């Protein structure tokens, strides 16, 4: 079955103005899906939507929305209710690396809202329609740090652990209804999110966003969890099979402390 037949006419991608989100947009458009690009920066979204339409002959909707605004779903519904949205790519996220108390409570809560609350709101809305159609897909962008208690990124890692566990549960629950659920767990990736830190002391190198997005698209419908990159997979395997949780936390605490 072709990708478009399996997942419908439109894919909605959050965090679509940069990094992994841009690559999701490009690669899904290449597969023939129309795309709804959701992010805050209107100019970037319009530029990308024009490029995608011209290159792939698909329809691209630029939807400038702040997922931290209280009424963001009203704007999303207005733009998407007439459309057949069969694939939700919940990719927007926020990360803080540094001493816990150097980040304000307000920023901590924003991270929780963007990384957990916004995906929950989007999922509840779009999954109902997917169930009615008896087909659809969801990709959550989490992180390999979601497997590990991570000092100096404690809240971020906690939000990604939430998405991993939620995704595993939903994959089981929604699979019989024709809906594929995948959790993407990247390691370090060349994005705006990682541009302000020095990760040269890490055992793994930063991956390219296109390879990260491709790993998720290729795995959708075949797996529930995917971690792109050989070294990242080695680290996850060690975290699960070899090292204790205390050892993992201590090791990543040493790595992360060197990055800021």
Determine the Cα–Cα distance for residues 176 and 135; give it in Å rounded to an integer.
10
Selecting among 10, 56, 147, 156, the annotated active-site residue is 156
Contact 2, 32 (CB under 8 A): yes
Helix-helix angle 105-112:154-174, to 10 degrees: 20
Determine the Cα–Cα distance for residues 238 and 88; give it in Å rounded to an integer.
31
CB 48: neighbour CB atoms within 10 A?
A: 24
Give 206's DSSP letter: P
| 147 among known catalytic residues | no
Q: What is the dihedral of CA 147, 110, 117, 186, to 10 degrees?
A: -30
Determine the Cα–Cα distance for residues 10 and 111; give it in Å rounded to an integer.
27
Cα 219 from chain centre: 14
Among 14, 11, 46, 2, residue whose Cα is nearest residue 29:
11
Determine the Cα–Cα distance for residues 18 and 152; give it in Å rounded to an integer.
24
Q: Which residues are catalytic?
A: 156
């Amino acid at each position: 079955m072709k990708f478009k037949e399996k997942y419908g006419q439109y894919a909605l991608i959050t965090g679509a103005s940069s990094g992994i989100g841009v690559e999701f947009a490009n690669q899904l458009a290449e597969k023939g899906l129309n795309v709804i690009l959701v992010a805050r920066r209107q100019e970037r979204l319009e530029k990308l939507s024009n490029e995608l339409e011209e290159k792939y002959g698909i329809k691209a909707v630029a939807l400038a929305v702040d997922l931290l605004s209280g009424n963001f779903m009203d704007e999303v519904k207005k733009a998407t209710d007439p459309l057949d949205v069969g694939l939700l790519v919940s990719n927007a996220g926020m990360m803080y690396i540094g001493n816990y108390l150097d980040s304000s409570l307000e920023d901590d809560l924003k991270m929780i809202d963007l990384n957990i609350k916004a995906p929950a709101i989007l999922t509840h809305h779009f999954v109902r329609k997917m169930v009615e159609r008896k087909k659809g897909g969801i990709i959550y962008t989490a992180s390999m740090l979601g497997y590990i208690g991570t000092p100096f990124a404690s809240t971020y890692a906690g939000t990604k652990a939430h998405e991993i566990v939620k995704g595993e549960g939903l994959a089981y629950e929604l699979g019989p209804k024709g809906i594929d659920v995948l959790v993407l767990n990247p390691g370090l990736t060349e994005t705006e999110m990682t541009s302000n830190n020095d990760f040269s002391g890490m055992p793994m190198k930063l991956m390219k966003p296109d390879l990260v997005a491709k790993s998720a698209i290729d795995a959708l419908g075949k797996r529930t969890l995917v971690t792109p990159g050989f070294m990242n997979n080695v680290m996850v395997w060690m975290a699960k099979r070899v090292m204790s949780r205390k050892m993992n936390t201590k090791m990543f605490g040493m790595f992360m402390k060197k990055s800021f």
